[in-house]
Amino acid sequence: MPTRNIKSLSSDLTQTLFTAGPRKPILVKDEEDRITLHLKDREHLSEREYIAFGNTDRLQRVVQEAKKYSSKEDPIGVVEAEALYDDVPDVFDLRPTTAQRVTVKIRKQEPARFSFVDEDAPSGWEKEQDGEAA
């Protein structure tokens, strides 16, 4: 009778598959991300299980290992931290406390003067403006 050696899976992969059971395991960085995704993706929790994995190297190693033993293209999913915030807008609506329209008198209209400021010298801006420095 032919014998067949069955290679044991790493403890990380075993635990991942055990935790996910029949659901697809999706690895995330930390527990906080896992909770966020659990809340966001309530509808699909019967199909997916989010697992906090921490270390990125460990996470990639498990993903590669799972690919070796599975015919599926991505047997284990990974959610990058940045993808968690896709719904968050880039710009928020922030407004001043008070606003008042005023009229400003123009005192002078002339090209502004250039004034060199030596960052290492102790002299002050005002002196240079008055032409005392340099």
Partner 1 sequence: MGERAGWRSRMTDKYPWYGLVEGDSLEQGDILRQCPVLLPMPDMTFPLTDNSISADLLTFDVIVMTQSCDLVNDKVPDVILCSHFDLNEAGMLDASLGKKDTHKAILNGYRHRYMMLASNAEPPMGHRIVDFGRIFCLPKAFVRQFASGQGKRLRLCPPYREHLSQSFARFFMRVGLPQNIEI
Q: Enumerate binding residues for partner 1 (CB under 8 A).
A: 32, 36, 40, 81-82, 84-85, 87-106, 109, 117, 119, 122, 124-126, 129
Q: Among residues 10 and 36, whose Cβ is nearest to partner 1? A: 36
b (16+ CB within 10 A) / e for 75-90? bbebbeeeebeeeeee
Name which of 20 and 50 has its Cβ closer to partner 1: 50
Residue 21: CA count within 13 A, CB half-sphere: 4
Residue 4 or 101 having the CB closest to partner 1:
101
Q: What is the DSSP letter of 83?
A: G
What burial letters (b/e) apply to 92-107, b meaning 16+ CB within 10 Å? eeeeeeeeeeeeeeee
Q: To the nearest whole angstrom, how small is the minimum distance from the Cβ of residue 97 to partner 1?
A: 5
Q: How far is the CB of 128 from partner 1 (least distance, A)?
A: 9
Q: What is the DSSP letter of 52?
A: E
| End-to-end C-alpha distance for the chain, whole angstroms | 98
Q: Tokens standing for 124? A: 């002050």
Return the number of the residue (9 or 84) whose C-beta is nearest partner 1: 84
Q: How far is the CB of 13 from partner 1 (least distance, A)?
A: 22
Could you tell me the smallest distance in angstroms from the CB atom of residue 32 to partner 1? 7
